[in-house]
Amino acid sequence: MERFAYCPTGIENFKAKNQWLGKGNLPKSGNIIFFDWVGDSVSDHVGIVEKVENEVVYTIEGNSGDKIAKLSYEKNSPYIMGYGTPK
């Protein structure tokens, strides 16, 4: 997986390598989840998928209220843009 500091660059990298899983799909543990908090179709946050259970995606995210946090989202959350699927 290539390093990136800007979320849209990370998405471009995954798409270029055919390692992108779009919104509404269920990721696997270790996938990189990309978010769009403001609804402008530009990713502004990233995390790591910890697990998926009953169509709920559990994540580990840094810079979440100035701390590392374990969070969860429904599969169809409007904030999820998609997933990088590194091999």
Q: Which domain holds residue 50?
A: 7-84
Residue 63 placed within a domain? yes
Residue 11 placed within a domain? yes
**pLDDT at residue 50 in the model:** 98
Could you tell me the two tokens for 79?
Answer: 């904030």
How many independent structural domains does the chain possess? 1
Residue 1 placed within a domain? no
Cα separation of 51 and 33, whole Å? 12
Percent of the chain with pLDDT over 70: 100
> In the chain, helix, strand, coil percent, each to 5?
10, 40, 50
Residue 26 placed within a domain? yes
Residue-wise pLDDT tens digits, 54-82: 999 999 999 878 889 999 999 999 999 99
Helix (H) or strand (E) run with residue 32 in it: strand 32-35
The CATH number of residue 43's host domain is 3.90.1720.10
| pLDDT of 2 higher than 90 | no
Interval 4-15 mean pLDDT = 94
Interval 13-37 mean pLDDT = 96
Residue 2 placed within a domain? no
